[in-house]
Structure formats: C-alpha cells, structure tokens
Structure 1
C-alpha cells in the first residue's frame, strides 16, 4: 500500500514537472501582457529552451517595461546598439570543431533552438544576436539614465551599479504592476 502511494506521488510529480514546459502551448498564445504589449509563447521559445523559458518570463517582462520607459522618455538607443561589424562575433555561429567551451555552448544552444524553430543554426544565431543586442541597448540606456552611472570600471562601482539597477527594476515592476498580466504559469 505504502509503495503504491509513493509510486503514485512520484508519477504525479513527474507529470507536473513536465507541465511546466512551454511545449504544451502554441507559439501564438500570449504568455503575458505588459501595458498593452503582448509577450507570446513564441517570443519566449525563441530566446530560451522550452524547459527554462517560464523561468525567464519575469525578466522578459522587465525588459519590455524598460523598453517602454526608454521610448516614453524619448531617449535614443542607437548609440548603445552594437554596430553590425562589432557584433559580428556574436551573430556568427562558432565552427563545429571549436575547442572553446563557450563557443561549444553557443553552438549547441543555437543548434537546439534552430531545430525546434525549423531554422538553420546560422540564421537563428544572427536573429538571436540582433534581439539580445536590442534588449541590451534598452537596458543599458535605461539603467545609465536612472542611476547616473556610466562606464563601470572597478568592483565597488560595479556593485553600486548592480545594486541600484536591481532596485530600479523592482521599482519599475511595482509601479506598473496594474499594467502587467501574466497569463501562463
């Protein structure tokens, strides 16, 4: 009796763990709405593995809030965007025979995501780099504007910048909580 109960609990946990994945959702389903801007399951699936994507939903919401704030402040982000020639290394897929561990991880991620999305790995990496570049530009622009800290050189300045940045992002979410609706868990 005890053994069958434990077995039932184990099976239930396995099934619940499997339910946390995005794979059960359609790409067009809305994962969250941030002040009238939809974040779709497809947006999350592009950037993250299905089994980890929901872990990044809060971050994706913060990025969207930051983007909206920067646009509302009429601050241009183009000077924070990596130029295509500077960003070429990230937009290029590392070679199959790379010995670099970071390169191997990037390649494996790109290949896995590309297969899931019916893309070529090189095409995925180029699009992925473009999205990450844009997100970084908005985030850097917002945080530098709000903290007044640019060009963090030493450890103390990095710690101060990170502390202020975390507080600012949490404050931004709190100020906009009525405009955020999470639709999937």
Structure 2
C-alpha cells in the first residue's frame, strides 16, 4: 500500500502542464461537499488542470474529499503517515542535483508555485502534504472496506478496481443531495 502512495505522488509530480489564462479565479467556488466549500484553488493546488480539464479535476477532488470526510467521521487518523511521506517526498531538490527526476520536480514546483504566488520549496512541501493526506485517507478508507490481505496475488486488478469504484459510487449516492457542483 505504501508503494501505491509513493507511485501516486510521483506520478502527480511528473505530470507537468501549463495552467494560464484561466477563466476561473482561484477563489471561485468549484463545489460544495456536505456544507464545505471547495475552491478552484483547492482543486488546482493538487490537480494540474487547464479549463477544459477542470470539471474532471473537480469531480475527482470531490470524490477524494468525500472519502476524506468519511474517513475522519470514522475516526481514522493519518497524521503520522502524512508526516512520514512529507519527510521523504516533500523535499525540494538541491540545485546540485542534476537528474531528470530532480529537474522535473523543480520544473513542476516552479510552475505551480507561480500560479499560487509561493516559493517553489513551500509549494512542493504543501502540495506533498495535501496530496499525501488525500491519498492516506483514501487508502485507509478502502482498507476498512476491502480486505486487501485476503486477495490472491493473482487476483484480477479490474475486479478490485470495480469494487472500489462501487464503494465510491455508493458513497456518492448517499451524499448526492449534499454535493453541489459549480463547475461542470
């Protein structure tokens, strides 16, 4: 499961795209989930999306946010995991390090930090913390609902994905009346 978290974070860091000239302001409301406002800035902080991709990013963020809310409601605490991940993954690479991966991380952090008027080091640290928190809550939530240890090593990953998707769909249906999308 730890490998899944690391892979998710690294994959997110590698995905580099511009986000300029948006028709949305960072403080525009993207959605409201169970009374809590999610802004365009909240979504764009963890998803690198242009205006065309923003509705899908909002949808994905809402689902992650809903899972996080449910995890907290269940009393799940992921603070230690988030802190541990931040120590290993949230560090801005030194300029002395000239590898493709370090250069990609710097490029990602610099482009995103500019959007949020932050220093790249600060953005990367906060991005890693938020991304780790969402991932840790999701992982803990699904571990409560799916017995991963009982899965056969040859278990069809599509079946597991379908089970997780059904859990998400059920959760969404349960709170559908309390979710309001402002960007679709």
TM-score, normalised with respect to structure 1: 0.75
What runs of 5+ residues in structure 1 fail to find an aligned partner? 1-20
Aligned to 1:98: 98
Aligned to 1:163: 162
Cα distance, 1:78–1:118 mapped onto 2, change above 3 Å:
closer
Runs of 4+ in 1 over 6 A off after TM superposition: none
Question: Shift in Å at residue 170 of structure 1?
Answer: 1.9
Aligned to 2:64: 63
Cα distance, 1:50–1:75 mapped onto 2, change above 3 Å:
closer
Aligned to 2:83: 83
Aligned to 1:15: none
CA distance in 1, matches of 2:41, 2:106: 21
- 2:93 and 2:105 in contact (8 A); partners too: yes
* Matched position secondary structure for 2:83: coil
CA distance in 2, matches of 1:126, 1:138: 18
Q: Does 1 or 2 have the higher relative contact order (CA < 8 Å, sep 6+)?
A: 2
CA distance in 2, matches of 1:31, 1:139: 21
* Matched position secondary structure for 2:148: coil
Cα distance, 1:117–1:176 mapped onto 2, change above 3 Å:
same
Larger radius of gyration: 1
Aligned to 2:31: 32
Question: Shift in Å at residue 174 of structure 1?
Answer: 2.1
CA distance in 1, matches of 2:69, 2:79: 15
CA distance in 2, matches of 1:121, 1:152: 41
- 1:35 and 1:180 in contact (8 A); partners too: yes
TM-score, normalised with respect to structure 2: 0.75
Cα distance, 1:53–1:154 mapped onto 2, change above 3 Å:
farther
Q: What do you get for the CA RMSD once the two structures are aligned?
A: 2.7
- 1:94 and 1:106 in contact (8 A); partners too: yes
Deviation per CA, 1:22-67, whole angstroms, max 9, x where unpaired? 8222222211011111110111222233514433111111111111
Aligned to 1:121: 120
Aligned to 1:9: none
CA distance in 1, matches of 2:160, 2:176: 24
* Matched position secondary structure for 2:75: coil
